[in-house]
């Protein structure tokens, strides 16, 4: 989807640095940035990569409007710089995994090449999009993992951080959700829109039975009755059964009832028995109320006969992690590798133009190691732990696949995959290739990233050069 994002969708410092680059001509210098993250959210063992198609869309159409130029003039930017920005187009080249792949800390996810100014200006947009969508897709994947084949519906729009809900609903579906209550996101992204009814509907009619009848008349093919407004087992479920039977007489079928409070397992079991006794085996049971991956897992362990889970707050906000910590670092400029030094070895960046080789087991499943090498090196024969150089691993003879593929060339998206269904399928396929020990919630196995001799030598040389 193309949000009408313009060139000012950035942090001021990008534009400020850009003016300095422009003054001395370094804005035209070739440069490469890597996007990667350092810490897994939710104590999870992987991240689901989401947001790429949106990034490519926005980069293709990124412009500074006349209003932007006027505004930036008032912020004190120079007229000649602004005239150049008036004709700004992103003409960079990007390599990335396919959207939906599983990704791991420290390995480059995007390699963005272009002129210094263009690759600098788009940092914020790239981080803003990929960090958020990948966080939510990962949360969704955790919920999907414990939900079996139950339907998962995103109910989060009302609890989201403002407009973030639009892309969060997209990311939720990529991570494994089936539908969303968010009509705007469904319309714009082609997601499946689904919903039930609110307590206000029953409150308005006062009489629950009458409320259910009214709804069934209005939505005969798509009725889900909310049964907990007054008393779930003594009023809600019996009234739902009564109206479902009336619907049967008209040749219609009640789709489901929804539980939204109390002990969801106990109530689902009782409601299921009541529905079945009335010959309404086809009526499904939906549940909501502050669900997350742990409650869904617990409900399934309790054999709660719940067919549909509606998840809002905990999904859409990525609870309890506010953000994925993805960063965008300069790794090469003017043909020379660049480094960011830190006292913390984990934070020293990996210089150079790199490729990620995902090591594979004989059966094609993931070995548990991504091997990073300089693009010119090819697949490394052995790799080194980036933080503890005495730890090495032979990779000769192990199958691998290059992860970073060309997705944008000179500002034009290539081989793009916009269909959410395809991205969702790919995410599920790639997750199935990740062995179970990386997917458990408690202390998952640490997926390893190793660097080639070439990267290590480059990093050590730059560390020496910049040592104090």
Q: Which residues bind ligand PRP (CB under 6 A)?
A: 155, 158-159, 198-200, 260, 288-291, 310-314
DSSP class per residue in 48-88: E---HHHHHHHHHH----HHHHHHHHHTT--HHHHHHHHT-
Binding status of residue 181 toward ligand NIO by CB under 6 A: yes
Cβ-contact 275, 423 below 8 angstroms: no
Of residues 305 and 310, the one with the C-beta less far from ligand NIO: 310
What burial letters (b/e) apply to 196-232, b meaning 16+ CB within 10 Å?
A: bbeeebbeeeeebbebbbbbbeeeeeebbbbbbbeeb
The helix or strand, by DSSP H or E, that contains position 134, with its residue range, turns out to be helix 123-146
Interface with ligand NIO (CB under 6 A), residue from 42, 61, 124, 195: 195
Q: Is 181 among the residues that bind ligand ATP (CB under 6 A)?
A: no
* Phi, then psi, of 405 in degrees rounded to 5: -115, 155
In the list 103, 165, 295, 403, the residue contacting ligand ATP (rule: CB under 6 A) is 295
Number of neighbours of residue 47 by Cβ within 10 angstroms? 26
**Whose Cβ is closer to ligand PRP: residue 159's or residue 219's?**
159
199 binds, among ligand NIO, ligand ATP, ligand PRP, none (CB under 5 to 8 A by kind): ligand PRP
Greatest Cα-to-Cα distance within the chain, rounded to the nearest angstrom: 84
Per DSSP, 317 falls in state T
Residue 155 touches ligand NIO, criterion: CB under 6 A = yes
State which residue has the least CB distance to ligand ATP.
Answer: 261
- Sequence-separated (6 or more) residues with CB below 8 Å from residue 77: 15, 19
Task: Of 267, 216, 266, give the one whose Cα is nearest residue 245.
Answer: 216
Cβ proximity to ligand ATP: between 139 and 338 the closer is: 139
Asked whether the beta carbons of 141 and 48 are under 8 A apart, the reply is yes
Lay out the site mask for ligand ATP across 274-293 (x = CB under 6 A, - = otherwise).
Answer: ---------------xxx--
Q: Before 415, cis peptide (omega within 30)?
A: no
Check binding of 306 to ligand ATP (CB under 6 A).
Answer: no
Distance CA 260, CA 197 (A): 11
**Shortest spacing between CB 226 and ligand PRP, in angstroms:** 7
Q: Which is nearer to ligand NIO, 261 or 392 (CB)?
A: 261
- Cα separation, 44 vs 443, in Å, equals 8
Q: Shortest Cβ distance from residue 158 to ligand NIO (Å)? A: 6
Angle between helix 264-277 and helix 293-301 axes, rounded to 10 deg: 50
Candidate list 264, 331, 372, 383; residue touching ligand ATP; CB under 6 A: 264
Q: Which does 392 bind (CB under 5 to 8 A by kind): ligand PRP, ligand ATP, ligand NIO, none?
A: none
Q: Does 310 bind ligand NIO (CB under 6 A)?
A: yes
Residue 189's Cβ-side half-sphere holds a number of Cα atoms within 13 Å equal to: 31
Shortest gap between Cβ of 319 and ligand ATP (angstroms)?
11
Nearer to ligand NIO, 91 or 159 (CB): 159
String of contacts with ligand ATP for each residue 188-227, x by CB under 6 A = ----------------------------------------
- Residue 45 vs 175, nearer CB to ligand PRP: 175
Task: Select the residue interacting with ligand ATP from 163, 199, 250, 262 (CB under 6 A).
Answer: 262
Residue 164 lies near ligand NIO (rule: CB under 6 A):
no
In the complex, what is the shortest distance from the CB of residue 319 to ligand NIO, in angstroms, rounded to a whole number? Answer: 16
Site residues for ligand ATP per CB under 6 A: 261-265, 289-291, 295, 298-299, 302
């Amino acid at each position: 989807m193309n949000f009408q994002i313009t060139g000012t969708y950035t942090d001021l410092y990008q534009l400020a640095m850009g003016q300095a680059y422009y003054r001395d001509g370094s804005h035209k210098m070739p440069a490469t940035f890597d996007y990667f993250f350092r810490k897994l959210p939710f104590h999870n063992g992987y991240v689901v990569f989401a947001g790429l198609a949106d990034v490519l869309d926005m980069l293709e159409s990124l412009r500074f409007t006349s209003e932007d130029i006027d505004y930036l003039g008032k912020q004190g930017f120079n007229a000649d710089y602004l005239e150049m920005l008036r004709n700004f187009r992103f003409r960079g080249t990007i390599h990335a995994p396919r959207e939906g792949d599983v990704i791991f800390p420290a390995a480059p996810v995007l390699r963005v090449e272009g002129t210094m100014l263009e690759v600098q200006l788009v940092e914020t947009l790239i981080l803003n999009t990929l960090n958020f969508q990948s966080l939510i897709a990962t949360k969704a994947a955790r919920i999907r993992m414990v939900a079996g084949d139950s339907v998962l519906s995103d109910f989060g729009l009302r609890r989201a951080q403002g407009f973030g809900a639009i892309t969060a609903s997209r990311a939720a579906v990529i991570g494994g959700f089936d539908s969303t209550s968010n009509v705007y996101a469904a319309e714009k992204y082609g997601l499946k829109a689904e919903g039930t009814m609110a307590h206000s509907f029953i409150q308005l009619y006062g009489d629950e039975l009458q409320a259910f009848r009214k709804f069934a008349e209005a939505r005969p093919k798509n009725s889900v009755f909310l049964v907990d407004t007054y008393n779930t087992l003594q009023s809600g479920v019996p009234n739902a059964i009564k109206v479902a039977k009336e619907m049967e007489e008209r040749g219609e079928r009640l789709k489901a009832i929804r539980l939204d409070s109390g002990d969801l397992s106990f109530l689902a079991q009782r409601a299921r028995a009541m529905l079945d006794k009335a010959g309404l085996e086809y009526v499904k049971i939906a549940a909501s109320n502050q669900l997350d991956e742990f409650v869904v897992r617990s409900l399934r362990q309790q054999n709660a006969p719940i067919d549909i889970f509606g998840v809002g707050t905990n999904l859409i906000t990525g609870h309890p992690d506010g953000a994925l910590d993805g960063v965008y670092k300069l790794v090469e400029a003017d043909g020379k590798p660049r480094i960011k030094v830190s006292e913390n070895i984990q934070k020293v960046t990996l210089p150079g133009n790199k490729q990620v080789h995902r090591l594979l087991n004989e059966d094609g499943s993931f070995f548990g190691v991504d091997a990073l090498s300089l693009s010119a090196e090819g697949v490394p024969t052995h790799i080194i732990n980036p933080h503890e150089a005495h730890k090495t691993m032979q990779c000769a003879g192990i199958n691998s696949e290059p992860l970073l593929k060309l997705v944008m060339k000179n500002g034009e998206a290539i081989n793009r995959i916009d269909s959410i269904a395809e991205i969702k399928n790919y995410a599920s396929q790639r997750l199935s290739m990740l062995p179970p020990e990386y997917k458990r919630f408690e202390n998952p196995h640490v997926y390893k990233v190793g660097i080639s001799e070439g990267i290590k030598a480059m990093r050590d040389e730059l560390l020496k050069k910049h040592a104090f």
